[in-house]
A and B are shown apart, each in its own frame.
Chain A
Amino acid sequence: QKEVEQNSGPLSVPEGAIASLNCTYSDRGSQSFFWYRQYSGKSPELIMFIYSNGDKEDGRFTAQLNKASQYVSLLIRDSQPSDSATYLCAVNDYGGSQGNLIFGKGTKLSVKP
């Protein structure tokens, strides 16, 4: 059973701080990693993807991938109350259906003003 694990939270950080969201995955062959943000009552929205080991930065967001440890993280710098949402980690279904993703259950982030 392929699994993507996330701490459900809630993760609470003060405004302006760095929020660190973590995700581990079970399938060592996985090659593509995604972070989605989901506001309450809304649909998941893609915010970043990463394919290679190391860091990938996009504005205030940095995705970090360590395939040896089967670990991917999302850092949010200068956190804002508008970042309060649930963050879903997703991993490609390596060896399964091409194009399919396996989602974690998400980490709820709360940024306090």
Chain B
Amino acid sequence: DAGVIQSPRHEVTEMGQEVTLRCKPISGHNSLFWYRQTMMRGLELLIYFNNNVPIDDSGMPEDRFSAKMPNASFSTLKIQPSEPRDSAVYFCASGRGQETQYFGPGTRLLVL
């Protein structure tokens, strides 16, 4: 079974550029989560989808961040414009509606 797939695995960009992160959840999972992890703040939930519908986006830092889930097998997290303080590891996780979550490998984002 393929796990959660994320792309790209690494992204280096310049301040002001648009960044799009992609996630394919595990087949059959109906919950999808986007997290951000930094040394200072740990693992922070950004947004949570259930059956493709955003349930809780209270963790999205500001309007520069947006997320979509057009179907059950794909989600994107977009940052526009990006800033150096957005540099972090972004994880996507999926689950079957219960609390057990399975994490993807993450995208390491560096904004210069």
Contacts and interface: CB of A to CB of B under 8 A. Distances in A.
Given A43-B91, A98-B97, A99-B31, 14 more contacts: A44-B91, A46-B101, A88-B43, A92-B99, A97-B48, A98-B50, A99-B48, A99-B55, A99-B99, A100-B33, A100-B99, A101-B101, A102-B45, A106-B42
Contact of B103 (A43, A97, A102): A43
Contacts, number: 52
Interface of B: 31, 33, 42-43, 45, 48, 50, 55-56, 91, 95, 97-106
Contacts of A102: 45
* Interface majority SS (helix, strand, loop, mixed), chain B: strand
A96 interface: yes
Interface residues on A, range: 20 to 34
B105 A42 contact: yes
A104 B42 contact: yes
